[in-house]
A and B are shown apart, each in its own frame.
Chain A
Amino acid sequence: MTSTQDRQETGTISVQVMRYRPDRSTPPILQEYDVPLRKEWTVLDALNHVKNEIDPTLSFRWSCRMGICGSCGMNVQGEPRLTCGAFLSDYAPGPIRVEPLANFPVIRDLVIDMADFMAKLPRVKPWIIRDDAPDDAEADGEIDGEYLQTPEELEAYKQFSMCINCMLCYAACPVYGLDPDFVGPAAIALAERYDLDSRDRGARERLDVLIEHEGVWGCTFVGECTRVCPKHVDPAGAIQRYKLKAANQSLRAWLLPRGGAR
């Protein structure tokens, strides 16, 4: 247990939380709570303090508290952040404005509806696509072996595999905000992750989805997705590289109609 002396408490800080109660059918309002300003406390700790000590009706999502589950994304001071990694002291003296992730419909308080993202994710087929058996699979056609890979081949896609589906990039993306049909940063970065995987053979199938207007060409390279990504995935980079690849393929198909498409 932490003793009172260990806690570096330096007064309080005001947290303004956006609250939406579907049962009251009124637009969201900002509700202000004063929480202890502790050096080691994050915005998520503050919200948990509010929920446990001040107002149990406050709703928000969280799980791991260590920046890996991707559940606690919210707009803090207008900026999409994982609240478990946003320290109160960085916003002192406050107040800190906490809102649900931008560009998503709000279900209640800080809880957003992620159904749209969940529907988009499988469209880019983020899994290894093969029609042959793994290298060491049994001859009876059983597919439960391994596909071998060198460290260099792993390195080629590793950065894009760090995505935790926290949706901060969607909240940061004005293209998605203005046109909700846009496939979006994380999904395209994940498509790139599998395209770059030496074990995968599905690039052609993913291209069919991403080459559409709502795919990579919807992106105008604002670059904000990359700036807010807590895992340094660089979705903006992935999308531009995909555009280059797609343009290359179209050009090749046009110049070499029979042998160009691979």
Chain B
Amino acid sequence: MTALPTYHRRMPTFWWLRKRTYFVFVMRELSSIFIAWFVLFLLLFVKAVGRGETAYHDFLDWAASPVVVALNVVAAVFLVVHTITWFNLTPQAMDLRVGRRPVPAAAVIAAQYAGLLVVSAVVWWLVRS
């Protein structure tokens, strides 16, 4: 086939600011960095607990410093974004059926929140007792 002389348009660097849905997508992708931060934070916490009382108190002092508190607030916001966006996408990725009938999307999303609630309750109960 003859190659046609064509004009190639380049995607602008800030393409994700041009549409709300693109922006939400990029924020969703970005949120995983903050999820990773929380995992690291938790591991550091467990390590501090393992090393004894002084290390534990040092960790608490560090965690209460303004920079870490600010970072954790931002991370918590992204955690919510992460949870909501991925829960909303699950029914599209999973073709669940009961018998022949497809499970309604709302039921799949509700089941995830129910699961989150149960896990949170168990964690809360563990921490309290």
Binding site for B on A (CB under 8 A): 20, 22, 27-28, 78, 102-103, 105-107, 113, 115, 152, 174, 177-178, 220-224, 226-227, 234, 236-237, 240-241, 243-244
Given A226-B92, A237-B93, A244-B94, decide whether A105 and B11 contact each other with a Cβ distance below 8 A.
no
Contact with A along B5-22 (1 / 0, CB 8 A): 111110100011011011
Binding site for A on B (CB under 8 A): 1, 4-9, 11, 15-16, 18-19, 21-22, 25, 29, 89, 92-95, 100
Which residues of B lie under 8 Å from residue A78 when comparing CB positions?
Answer: 18-19
A178 near B11 with CB under 8 A, answer: yes
A223 near B16 with CB under 8 A, answer: no
Which residues of B lie under 8 Å from residue A22 when comparing CB positions?
Answer: 4-7
* Measured CA separation A237–B93 after assembly (Å): 5
Q: A105-B6, A222-B21, A237-B92 provided; 16 other pairs, C-beta below 8 A?
A: A22-B6, A22-B7, A27-B7, A102-B9, A103-B11, A105-B7, A106-B6, A107-B4, A221-B93, A223-B25, A223-B89, A236-B92, A237-B93, A240-B89, A240-B92, A241-B94
Residue of B nearest to A222 (CB): B25
Which residues of A lie under 8 Å from residue B19 when comparing CB positions?
Answer: 78, 224
21 inter-chain pairs at a CB distance below 8 angstroms, sorted by A residue, are: A22-B5, A28-B7, A78-B18, A102-B9, A105-B6, A105-B8, A106-B7, A106-B8, A107-B6, A113-B6, A115-B1, A152-B100, A174-B22, A174-B25, A221-B89, A223-B89, A224-B21, A227-B21, A234-B92, A240-B89, A243-B93
Distance (whole angstroms) from the CB of A181 to the closest CB of chain B: 15
Which residues of B lie under 8 Å from residue A226 when comparing CB positions?
Answer: 92
Distance (whole angstroms) from the CB of A75 to the closest CB of chain B: 10
7 A-B pairs with least C-beta separation: A240-B93, A105-B6, A106-B7, A237-B92, A177-B11, A222-B25, A22-B5
A241 near B5 with CB under 8 A, answer: no
A27, A105, A223: which contacts B21 (Cβ < 8 A)? A223
* Measured CA separation A201–B81 after assembly (Å): 41
* Measured CA separation A81–B100 after assembly (Å): 34
A102, A223, A224: which contacts B92 (Cβ < 8 A)? A223
